Amino acid sequence: MIWLFILLLFFIPVSLPAQEPAPPTPIAIAKTPSEFQAYDTPNNCLDDVSLIWKAVPSEVELINKSKELKELNKTIAELQAKIDNAEKNKRDDKYYSQWEKKSADLDENKWKEKLAESEKKKIKISNEVDALKNKIIITEYIVYIDKNADGKFEQEVDRFPSNANWKSDKEWPFWVSGTKEGYHYVEINILEQFPAGTLPELKKKKSELQKVRSEIEKSKLEHKDYSKANSRKLNLMKEVNILEDKVSAEKNEIKSKPYYFKVTAADKDNSVLFTFPVLSAQAKDNWFNWSLAVNFLVMIFFCATVIWFISHAKKNKDLFLRRINGLDAVEEAVGRATEMGRPVFYMTGITGMDDIACICATVILGKIAEKVAQYDSQIKVPHRDPIVMTVCQEIIKEAYIKAGRPDAYKSDSSFYVTGDQFAYTAAVNGMMMREKPAASFLMGSYAAEALLLAECGSTTGAIQIAGSDSTDQLPFFITTCDYTLIGEEFYAASAYLSREPVLVGTLKAQDFGKLFILAALVFGAAISLAHLPWIIDIIKDFS
């Protein structure tokens, strides 16, 4: 039931709490916009305040119509180009088969029909646009700023034509209203309007410092003495540090005060038509990016399900797990290595320790190394990254201790080869050709070398088990390896091999997440089939 609730949360527009809109008080003249608001700080911005006001209805209509016109012109141009091209090809006799000619003719006719239709529409819309243009009186909006509410408002901040600066130009979380209805929207950087007084000095010092640095570099190359320049550099650096502190203090000072804004609308002749009431706003640092709130909710939700399932798993120990073929074969592969007296090769992919796929590969290595230790076989793990190598040494050692055979552990079973992609491949292939491993495991993320390693392994007759999240390389693993763990199976492997209830619990949570995605998919598809564009906007906001 919880997930249904969460699903609902996804689609119910929530009002935005953090921003406090000032009360709208319109000044009455003909066709006056009705709302004017000033916001403290919009999402993502630190030194900004924003102003929003509703545009005259005809302005909105004009903008929509002109957009439509633009689209139409584009399609017309595209169609024309297609037709021209087809004609040209016919003239130049570029078609080598009868079949091709026929289908080209067919396409051309279709395009021509569409073209005629579009032309008709274009005439209609451009007439409408002209009519609207005549209707509109406001040509320009002008924004002023002042430090006092009753000041003179002489500092002009922005000036733009009445068909520009729309709220819908920016990205908003889905619950913010008015992104479609035609609101004008201006962001004003306070620090740009009232810059810190010491800023120019800081800039000067910085460029001086840069010069001294390049001087030092030059004299270093020419083997000249540069101690003088060096001491100058150190002095400059101190000065810069002091100035930087000063500037940031000044900036904070500037930002700590509210500012007052006035917006006027002007017509063609630059005479003021009307003025909005003065409003105030203050720039604040944000500690949460509200446009990512949905993302955050999903994360919290997922954390909660994982924790819930884990605690559930502790109570309820035998959870069902479906079979994963590749993992059932691990035992067979390791056993075979013992029988044949040949080593097992294990590769952890190309990424480093900060990549989850690589971490997962090392975790699986622990489980496999344990089996290797039990069966008294040998494991070899060639590496491209020294940190991963170190981690794997630890893991293998621990696995041997766990299996009760710490004496059998060899410190050089996990070793560094090289960081170069193909040198690594060449070296590992060479080793495989010489040592003819009984089994080879390819786990983690791979690039082009995937097939090189896997095919070479299969020529040596090894049982190969691959597990990867690189979707580009999976086809090659499928064709060359005996067993392949596709995508999520690879991530499930460690839980599957260990059968620890806690880990299996997270698998359940994953399944739950999939169910959730499935529901969202089907639900979303149904709605978008019903042509409700707003739902697509909501989904777009998520990403």
- Binders in 501-520 for other proteins, by CB under 8 A: 502-503, 506-511, 513-514, 517-518, 520
The residue from 321, 325, 376, 499 that contacts other proteins (CB under 8 A) is 321
Quick one: angle between helices 501-529 and 533-542, nearest 10?
150
Q: Rounded to whole angstroms, how far apart are CA atoms 141 and 8?
A: 41
Q: Which residue in the set 366, 381, 464, 465 belongs to the binding site for other proteins (CB under 8 A)?
A: 366
Of residues 428, 432, 477, the one with CA closest to residue 450: 477
* Residue among 422, 410, 430 nearest 446 (CA): 422
Give the one residue of 130, 181, 285, 328 binding other proteins; rule: CB under 8 A: 285
- Which window, 142-150, 156-164, 175-183, 304-312, contacts other proteins (CB under 8 A)? 304-312
Of 385, 382, 380, whose CA–CA distance to 350 is shortest? 385
CB of 337 within 8 A of CB of 438?
Answer: yes
Say whether residue 100 binds other proteins (CB under 8 A).
yes
**Cα dihedral 172/178/184/186 (nearest 10):** -30
Among 150, 154, 269, 412, binds other proteins (CB under 8 A): 412
Q: Which of residues 200-219 bind other proteins (CB under 8 A)?
A: 213
Query: How, if at all, do strands 183-189 and 259-266 pair?
Result: unpaired
- Report, in Å, the least distance between residue 379 CB and other proteins: 15
Residue 407 binds to other proteins (criterion: CB under 8 A): no
CA distance 290 to 281: 19
Find the part of the chain contacting other proteins (CB under 8 A) among 60-68, 142-150, 159-167, 444-452: 444-452
Number of residues located near other proteins, criterion CB under 8 A: 130
Strand partners, 49: 188
Backbone angles phi, psi at 147, to 5 degrees: -80, -20
Indicate which single residue of 242, 272, 408, 448 sits in contact with other proteins (rule: CB under 8 A): 448
Place of tokens 């935005």: 16
Taking contact as CB under 8 A, which single stretch among the options 12-20, 115-123, 183-191, 425-433 is the one that binds other proteins?
Answer: 425-433
Give the 3-state secondary structure percentages of the chain, helix then strand then coil, rounded to 5.
Answer: 55, 15, 30
Question: 330 or 363, CB closer to other proteins?
Answer: 363
Q: Which stretch binds other proteins (CB under 8 A): 58-66, 158-166, 285-293, 329-337?
A: 285-293
Say which residues have a Cβ less than 8 Å from residue 164's Cβ, sequence separation at least 6. Answer: none
CB 163 within 8 A of CB 141: no
Interface of this chain with other proteins, residues 241 to 270, rule: CB under 8 A:
none
Site map 168..187 versus other proteins, x via CB under 8 A: --------------------
Q: Of residues 91, 152, 223, 531, which one binds other proteins by CB under 8 A? A: 531
Specify the stretch interacting with other proteins by CB under 8 A; choose among 52-60, 114-122, 305-313, 331-339: 305-313
